Amino acid sequence: MRISTIDHWLVRVPFSEVIAWGSGTRIGTTRLICRLTTDEGVEGWGETLCLIDAVPAVFREVVAKIGPGYDINNVERLHRHVLGAGYYHHKRAAVMAIAALEMAMWDAKGKAAGLPLWAMWGGRWRDKVAAAAYTFTREPAQLAERLMTFRESGYSSFKVKIGFDAESDIALATIARDTLGDDAHIRLDVNGAWTRATAKRQLERLRPLAPAYVEQPLELDDLVGARALAQNQPLPIALDESAYTLQDVGNIVTNQAAEILLLDPHQAGGLWQVIKAAAIAEAAGIEVGLHSGAELAISQAAYLHLAASIPNMTLAIDTERAYLAGDIAHDPPQLAHGSFAVPEAPGLGVTPDPEMIARYTVDRIEGAYLDPARPDWFPVKPQY
C-alpha cells in the first residue's frame, strides 16, 4: 500500500492562559498536521510540534516531496531518506518534520491491519497511562493554588517549571513540597538554565525537598557536566533537550549522564525512533517518560500507544492538555483522575475533523519564545 497524496496544515490552538517558562511565554501550541491517502483509499493522520520555522519548511520542501509513492510500511526508510536528502548533519532541523508523516504512515498501517498501534509494537503492557500535571508560573501563590487544583483532579505526579532565577528555584520547589506533602512525586524542570557551578549549589539546596528528579539542569550539549551531576550527588538527573535523536540517547547512555530520559517522537523523528531509544535505555536500566509540547488529539493518541507498549516507560507522561482551549478532533483522548485510557480502535484511534483544523489554521509560528511584555529580554543558556 503506497502513499498517493499528502496534505498538511499549520494550526495554532490557543491556551486558556499565557504560560511562562525559562525561554519566555507561550500563547498556544503550534502544530503541523498532515493527512496521507494511500492508493487503496486508506487515510492516515500525523502531527508534529512546530516551534521554529524549519519544521514546516522541511516538511513542505523535503518530506512532502519524498513521501508520495512510499510504501506505508517503510517508516525506517523514510527517516533515513530525509536525512540523506541533506539532513545527516542537521538532524534537529529535520526530525520534527519527519515525525508528522511517519506518524501518519503508522496510522494508515494500523487501520489497514485493523489493529491499534500498541498491538503492532509488542502488545499492551499497561491498560492506562498516568499523566503528570504541569505548572508554568513563577508566582508562589498561583503555584500553590494550581497544584492543589491538579491534586484534587486526581493527579499524583506534578512537574514544576523552575529555571527563572536562583532564589525562585528553591522557593517554588519548597512551595510544591509544602503544598503536596512528603510523599508527592514532584519533578523540577530547569530547561538548561544553570551553569555547572550553579547546578552543584542548587542541587544541594534542593536535596532536602527530595524531588523525584531534576530535569535538564545544564545546557543540552553538556554531557560531561550532566555525567558529573548524575555520578556525584543523590538527586536523579533527567535529560530531555539532550535526548532528541537515537544518537543522542546512545551518547547519554554511553556517558552515564542521566538516570531518566524524557523522549518525544517529534524530537526523535518518529514513533519507531522512540521505541528504539526506549529499548536502548531499558538495556541500561534507565526509566523513560514522554516530554510534552502541548499535544493535540493525534499526537496525544500516539503518546498513549507508546506508553501502553513500552515496559520501561514507567513514569507518568508529561501533558499540557489542561491548558488547551480547543482541539482538532471530536474524539481526543480523555484525561480523567490523572490518567488516560489506552485507545482500542485501529491505528491511532482518533478522527481529526477538517473543519476544526480549518478553524485553527495559521500561516506562521508565533508565541513560543521570548516575552512581549519584556521586549529587550531574551533567554541565555546557561542563564545563571
pLDDT digits (tens, 9 = 90+) for 299-309: 999 999 999 99
What CATH class has 3-113? alpha beta
| Domain range annotation of the chain | 3-113, 118-351
Q: What is the pLDDT of residue 118?
A: 98
Q: What is the mean pLDDT of residues 76-83?
A: 98
Partner residues linked to 317 by β-bridges:
131
Q: Does 179 score more than 90 pLDDT?
A: yes
Residue 357: all three cell numbers together: 483544523
Convert the pLDDT of each residue in 327-360 to its tens digit. 999 999 999 999 999 999 999 999 999 999 999 9
Partner residues linked to 215 by β-bridges:
189, 238
pLDDT band at 382 (very low <50, low <70, confident <90, very high): very high
Going by DSSP bridges, is the β-strand pair 213-215/185-189 parallel, antiparallel, or unpaired? parallel
Q: What is the pLDDT of residue 19?
A: 87
Residues 6+ apart with CB under 8 A from 158: 132, 133, 135, 147, 150, 151, 176, 180, 184, 185, 186, 187
Q: Which residues of 218-229 are buried (b: 16+ CB within 10 A; e: fewer)?
A: bbbebbebbbbb
CA distance 253 to 340: 30
Amino acid, single-letter form, for residue 13: V
CA distance 107 to 88: 26
Q: Does 24 score more than 90 pLDDT?
A: no
Cell match 517529534: residue?
A: 266
Angstrom CA distances, 327 to 45, 117, 148, 361, stand at 14, 22, 26, 12
Cβ burial of 60 (10 Å; 0-12, 13-18, 19+) is: middle
Angstrom CA distances, 92 to 50, 99, 129, 243, stand at 12, 12, 28, 11
Q: What is the mean pLDDT of residues 261-277?
A: 98
CA distance 55 to 48: 9
Element (H, E) at 175: helix 166-180
Query: pTM of the entire structure?
Result: 0.97
Cβ burial of 239 (10 Å; 0-12, 13-18, 19+) is: buried
Q: Does 87 score more than 90 pLDDT?
A: yes
CA distance 39 to 278: 33
Residue 220: all three cell numbers together: 543540552
DSSP 44-60: EEEEEE-SSTHHHHHII
CA distance 23 to 378: 7
* Residue 172: count of CB within 10 angstroms of its CB: 23
Q: What is the pLDDT of residue 362?
A: 97
Angstrom CA distances, 200 to 51, 203, 206, 213, 225, stand at 31, 5, 10, 14, 10
Angstrom CA distances, 44 to 29, 67, 259, 266, 345, stand at 22, 13, 36, 17, 13
CA distance 264 to 349: 19
Q: What is the pLDDT of residue 21?
A: 83
* Domain spanning 118-351, CATH architecture: Alpha-Beta Barrel (3.20)
CA distance 164 to 176: 16
Q: Which residues of 137-160 are buried (b: 16+ CB within 10 A; e: fewer)?
A: bbeeeebbebbeebbeeebbbbbb
